[in-house]
Amino acid sequence: MTRRLAILATLAACGGGKGAPAAAPAPVPAAEAELRFDWSPPCSVPVTERAHRKGADLTMSYTVSVTRLGDGELLVDMVDIDVLEVNGTDLRGPEHAADRAQIRDLFAAFPALIVDDAGNYLRTEGLDEVIEATIRSSPELAEARSMFDSPEMRAQMSAKFAEPWLTWVGQWVDWSLALGDRATVRLTTPGPSGEELPFDATVEHLVGEDGLAHLRYTERMDGDALKVMMAPMLASMSGIAPDPAEAEKFFDEMTLEGYRETVFEVETSPENLRPRRSRHEIRFEATINGAKPERQLEWREYEFDWDHAVGCGR
């Protein structure tokens, strides 16, 4: 586990959870998509993931394993992780064995998830172990231990690890949106100190292929809400977070103009929410204290191979 994992969990946890907005009037009459989760565990399905973050590209493969944990709960884990390419370089040759193993070990340390029988995300397993491993690998983070122990930070880290499942299934549970519909509502998400911060959530039911549902969910946060969300992280990176007075002064004097947008998208079977392809994207652009604008784009794309799935009611 590395420092960049901790920073990733902090930077990318600004968005809110899945809302339940009312559908806007359909532009043309269309049947509603009745979505239902059914992976019939035990279920193992091969997945190829392609990701882009901070200018780096990564291609990896793994198996998503879903097993029965207890009454009404399922365990979701990524196993048999293999790193295929980094920045266009094929790592499957023996000369890249060490680099390949290091990256594979990083992703293998990610915790498992618990979901319910309907596909809703419930919690992240082993979060304490992830936090301890992060601090052990980066002792300088020990000074920020109270930040990791706060309920808000734990919730944000859990949400970060849950993003793959939300992209595949969790974001689409209980959808009932007519084909062609698009709706935007104002929702809130807990901020660093528990305050409710507003963001806009847009849901879309697009035209799919081969009988699949094509769904998109977008969150956008800007203005004062984004400033409140990012200020503690920026103060910590500036080395003043432990001093409440200095942190308050930092926030009062900071200016931030920009936005952060998170997009979940999937092509999935309405009968069982078994995705063919899905994508999670984060766009961030901000000018902080009048400095040069910061622009970031990261995304993860997933392709499922259900023809080679094992179990899953087959």
The distance of Cα 177 from the centroid of its chain, to the nearest Å, equals 23
Neighbouring residues of 153: CB distance < 8 A, sequence distance ≥ 6 = 10, 147, 192
User: Where do the structural domains in the chain lie, given as residue ranges?
Assistant: 18-311
| One-letter amino acid for residue 246 of the chain | E
**CATH fold for domain 18-311:** Lipovitellin-phosvitin complex; beta-sheet shell regions (2.30.230)
Provide the whole-model pTM: 0.80
**C-alpha distance from residue 279 to each of 52, 123, 255, 291 (Å):** 11, 21, 32, 31
Digitized pLDDT (tens) for each residue of the chain, 314 residues in all = 332 233 223 323 333 334 333 333 333 323 355 789 999 999 999 999 999 998 899 999 999 999 999 889 999 999 999 999 999 999 888 888 888 888 777 777 788 999 999 999 999 987 877 777 777 767 666 666 667 777 777 777 888 899 999 999 999 998 878 889 999 999 998 887 788 999 999 999 999 999 899 999 999 999 889 888 887 766 665 555 556 677 677 777 778 889 999 999 999 999 999 999 999 999 999 888 888 888 899 999 999 999 999 999 87
* Tokens 């990791």 belong to residue: 148
